Amino acid sequence: MQIFGVDIGGSGIKGAPVDLDKGDLAQERCKVLTPHPATPDGVADGVKQVIDHFGWTGPVGLTFPGVVTGGATIRTAANVDKSWIDTDARALFSDRLGGLPVHVVNDADAAGVAEMRFGAGRDRAGTIILLTFGTGIGSAVFTDGALLANTELGHLELGGHDAEKRASSKAKEDHDLSWEQWAHRVQKYLAHVEMLFSPSLFIIGGGVSRKSEKFLHYIEGIRAEIVPAQLQNNAGIVGAAMRAAEHA
Q: What is the pLDDT of residues 204-235, one digit of tens each?
A: 999 899 999 999 999 999 999 999 999 998 99
User: For the whole prediction, is pTM greater than 0.85?
Assistant: yes
The pLDDT of residue 248 is above 90: no
pLDDT value of position 10: 87
CATH of 2-109+235-247, one of 3.40.1370.10, 3.40.91.10, 3.40.1080.10, 3.30.420.40: 3.30.420.40
Share of the chain above pLDDT 70, in %: 100
123-230, CATH topology level: Nucleotidyltransferase; domain 5 (3.30.420)
Single-letter amino acid, residue 89 = A
Region 226-246: what's the mean pLDDT? 96
The pLDDT of residue 142 is above 90: yes
Task: Quote the distance between the C-alpha of residue 163 and its chain's center.
Answer: 16
The pLDDT of residue 32 is above 90: yes
pLDDT value of position 51: 98
Q: What are the structural domain ranges in the chain?
A: 2-109+235-247, 123-230
The answer for residues whose C-beta is within 8 angstroms of residue 150's C-beta and 6 or more apart is 67, 68, 69, 75, 106, 109
Q: Do domains 2-109+235-247 and 123-230 have the same CATH topology?
A: yes
The pLDDT of residue 147 is above 90: yes
pLDDT value of position 159: 85
Region 176-186: what's the mean pLDDT? 98
d(CA 227, CA 42): 35
pLDDT value of position 151: 96
pLDDT value of position 141: 98
The pLDDT of residue 245 is above 90: yes
The pLDDT of residue 158 is above 90: no
pLDDT value of position 197: 98
pLDDT digits (tens, 9 = 90+) for 37-91: 999 999 999 999 999 999 999 999 999 999 999 999 999 998 899 999 999 999 9
